[in-house]
Amino acid sequence: MELSILIPARNEMFLSRTVEDILTHREADTEIIVVLDGAWADPPIRDDPRVTIVYHPESIGQRAATNEAARLARGRYVMKCDAHCAFGQGFDRILLEDIEPDMTLVPLMTNLHAFDWTCQECGNRRYQGKSGPCPECGGHEERDVIWQPRERTPHTTAMRFDPQLKFQYWGGYKPRQGDGPLVETMSLLGACWMLSKERYFDLNICDELHGSWGQQGTEVACKTWLSGGRLMCDKRTWFAHLFRTQGGDFGFPYPITHGAQEHARDYSRHQFWGGEWKGKYPLSWLVERFWPVEGWTQEDLDALKEGENSRENEKTFSPIFSDDESGCILYYTDNRLDPAIMSACQEQLKQAGLPIVCVSLEPLEFGDVRVVVDAEPGPLTMHRQILAGLRATNAATVYFCEHDVLYHKTHFELIPPKPDRFYYDTNVWKLWPDGLATWTDDLQQLSGLCARRDLLLEFYEQRVAQIERDGFDRHYEPGSKTGPYRTENWRAARAHVDLRHGQNATRSKRRPDEFRNPQYARGWREAYEIPGWGPTDEIWEMIYG
């Protein structure tokens, strides 16, 4: 297999047409892998041995869907494309003929004229956009599919990014590109690009810490050039892309919030302008290679160089926490918690004095490293949040911390003595809104977990893949007493307090007779005062003031 085409898709009305277009115009040994991210294709994709379909009932995000398709790819090369594109005849054969090992290749780009609206009463036609009624007579309109490159549309071969690392077109660079079939471009649109599968994974070309969507073109461009590769536009073939910017029923299929876009840009700037991503060259090298660059001033370039010179010029990826014996807190939240409880737990967590990786579903002003996973709340999303947080740190030990738990600083004193064990702090009281606090012996909860980061990363990479494949089996806590991943219990000097508030991820038992297995109710205790914390009504008063 030479080429695998990766198509992440969510609520895409032209997905089946895109797949059919690829099948019609392919001339090489090419397969298509479609990841249906939260919705079945409508209309459906016809059966074809060259098409693989993966379905997720809950959205995992565009980058994650692309990565999943890449893991399934059998081709030597992979090409990501949007689910609303058309291609020139033999596009895959031409790209495969021209690509070289260090290249990322993009076809010449034009606009796709996908359809017109036609009025069924007066016959008026108008160009694609939001649905009617007819602007002439108010009558009913239906789509008339055109599916061809739009006439008089510029053929895009040159793109750039500005000092904020935001994508921009760069028509003014085209005269500098020359007349050859392959021309250099500083950046690219994220809609279609191709490189070797090996480089895709070596460069982590779809870093999910950006979030679901945004900055894809800048990410691919920077990683290609700064690693010593070349980003080229192949003018011998083309793709036509459908731009949907009018909103309504002709907008983006993924939720594109302002906060999520800003997170993607902030993370991109942190990686490339901020120097976290280390390749063969710094970002200033790329800017100077295409200098002068529209939108960049000499002051912008000087500021970039000054920042680079003030940092150590290591040729490796810089870990967020580099101390081999350090620990960090992995804090994850679905952003749906009562703000008073969330704030109190965050303030308590700061007293631990450890770096905090915050993984949320919406941007939060909390933590030293902030990761946003753009997905709907649920068990799979929570596991994906944990995995994203583990990937964001190189700390030796990671302490799992949930948004509705009050942690005493002694919870963070354990350094796991065995690198192949999951350690659970079982010194935990559950505190109910009426002031009742309950206890059971040896309660293993995810909120009490700590372990070596390498072990956690190994486990959660497998666990997320398993849930994606088989669904969630209601088991949150990793490890067992006898399986391949073993657990051990310990008790901190002071308990942590698990606040029950009616919206917890898991339901707790308020009475011992609610347990189907009596062993889980061993040591049952009830109290209205928690050792080290004081009377329970004062804890709630501290939270709500």
The whole-number average pLDDT for the span 253-260 is: 63
Tokens read off for 78:
């992979």
How many residues does the structure list for the chain?
Answer: 545
pLDDT over 90, % of the chain? 63
Quick one: pLDDT at residue 319? 36
Tokens read off for 73:
């790819």
Q: Which amino acid is at 276?
A: E
User: Binning pLDDT at 50, 70 and 90, where does residue 323 land?
Assistant: very low
Three-state DSSP state, 146: strand
The whole-number average pLDDT for the span 101-108 is: 96
d(CA 457, CA 454): 5
- State CA 442 to chain mean position distance: 35
In sequence order, the 6+-apart residues with CB closer than 8 A to the CB of 24 are: none
436 has a pLDDT exceeding 60: yes
The whole-number average pLDDT for the span 249-267 is: 68
Cβ-contact 122, 137 below 8 angstroms = yes
Domain boundaries, the chain: 3-112+155-245, 327-544
Q: For residues 94 and 280, which has the higher predicted lDDT (pLDDT)?
A: 94
122 has a pLDDT exceeding 60: yes
User: Binning pLDDT at 50, 70 and 90, where does residue 7 land?
Assistant: very high
- For residue range 227-241, what is the model confidence (pLDDT) as tens digits? 999 999 999 999 999
| Residue 189 CA: distances (Å) to CA of 105, 108, 112, 369, 452 | 12, 11, 15, 28, 39
CATH class belonging to 3-112+155-245? alpha beta
Is 327-544 CATH 1.10.3470? no
In sequence order, the 6+-apart residues with CB closer than 8 A to the CB of 65 are: 8, 9, 10, 35, 37, 56
- For residue range 337-392, what is the model confidence (pLDDT) as tens digits? 999 999 999 999 999 999 999 999 988 889 888 888 878 898 999 999 999 899 88
The whole-number average pLDDT for the span 295-311 is: 86
- For residue range 500-530, what is the model confidence (pLDDT) as tens digits? 887 776 667 777 777 666 777 788 899 999 9
Maximum average pLDDT range among 370-379, 425-434, 464-473: 425-434
To 10 degrees, what angle do helices 379-391 and 453-470 make? 150
Maximum average pLDDT range among 158-167, 248-257, 463-472: 158-167
Fold match, 3-112+155-245 / 327-544: yes
313 has a pLDDT exceeding 50: no
Quick one: pLDDT at residue 265? 81
SS (H, E, C) 38-86: CCCCCCCCCCCCCEEEEEECCCCCHHHHHHHHHHHCCCCEEEEECCCEE
d(CA 147, CA 21): 9
315 has a pLDDT exceeding 70: no
The whole-number average pLDDT for the span 137-159 is: 90
Report DSSP state, residue 71.
Answer: H
Report the DSSP pairing between strands 405-406 and 496-499: antiparallel
Quick one: pLDDT at residue 476? 82
Asked if the bond preceding 433 is cis, omega within 30° of 0, the reply is no
Give the containing element (helix H, strand E) for 225. Answer: helix 216-226
d(CA 311, CA 309): 5
Q: Which of 131-145, 245-259, 454-468, 473-487 has the lowest mean pLDDT?
A: 245-259
Nearest to 402 by CA among 494, 492, 498, 475: 498
User: Binning pLDDT at 50, 70 and 90, where does residue 252 land?
Assistant: low
Q: What is the mean pLDDT of the chain?
A: 88
The whole-number average pLDDT for the span 161-178 is: 93
Dihedral angle computed from the Cα positions of residues 344, 350, 356 and 361, in that order, rounded to the nearest 10 degrees: 10
Tokens read off for 95:
């790209």
